[in-house]
Amino acid sequence: MAKVVFEACESEVHSSASQWCTSKRRPRGGRKKGRVVLVGAGPGDPELLTMKAFRCIQNADVVVYDRLVSAEIVDLIPSGKALIYVGKAKGLHSVPQDKINDILVAEAKAGRTVCRLKGGDSFIFGRGGEEMQVLRDAGVSVEVIPGITAASGCTSYAGIPLTHRGLSQGCTLVTAHAEKELALNWSALASINHTLVFYMGLSKLQFISEKLIAEGMAPNMPIAVIEKGCSVNQRVFVSTLSDVLTAIQDKNLVSPSLIVVGEVVALSSELSWFVTQTQEEIEQLSA
């Protein structure tokens, strides 16, 4: 399906390749100068890729990609392309960040154009800034292609606006991942009257809800857990801070799951629009 979506773009991709990821020609009498492009792959749906990201995936010499890059997007990588998987999961860091940095530097210094493909956006909890610093320090040319971050993509697919007149005048993005203690200003988060979006927070859901209530947020504040957003396997569970653990206890949720807290969550029942393949099949069977 994903390949069909982009077939119309392929002729344009090849004709304009010199303007994008293969734009820097090999100097006469010398080795081609390598570089790294930090590419945001978005939250999963391949149709949410930017054209620039797609061109880079097609034309890079090497693709270094993460666990959160969906299988549908990986399928867009041309066969025969050099692939390096550096995915991480909680408690299973298959490739340490220092090693990933070394891979990027080595590939670029070997004269290759590297597509560093990350789920979401490289500069939003994606360590893109850290990798860019290392590459710059090593004298490697770096570019950035933004992607749709999970907070925007997954909430849109769940029918939850991040801001809404009269309900939320702002949005705060928070990572629930920490090497040791999750040290946040919980009092500020509980009182700021923003939509709160927690990345990588499924395992800390109880801690998050308890801390927000302890700091004064209403126990009946709406909360949503969005599992595998922007995919045919998306599931959305809406509850309240005080009841959310009970609501999901038998649902076997897995990562990636996004946690959204705020009055705007209550709009999901009215604004929900995305029907997954599974839901369509259920409706057909019951018709």
Looking at the annotation, which residues are catalytic? 66, 88
| Cβ proximity of 151 and 160 under 8 Å | no
For residues 265-279, b (16+ Cβ closer than 10 Å) or e, as one string?
Answer: bbbbeeeeebebeee
- DSSP track, 169-197: S-EEEEE---SS-----HHHHHHS-SEEE
Reference 207, options 257, 170, 244, 172; nearest CA is 244
Query: What sign for the dihedral angle of Cα 150, 155, 156, 162?
Result: negative
**Which amino acid does the sequence have at 76?**
L
**Which amino acid does the sequence have at 204?**
K
Calpha distance 161→264 (Å, rounded): 6
| Cβ proximity of 56 and 65 under 8 Å | no
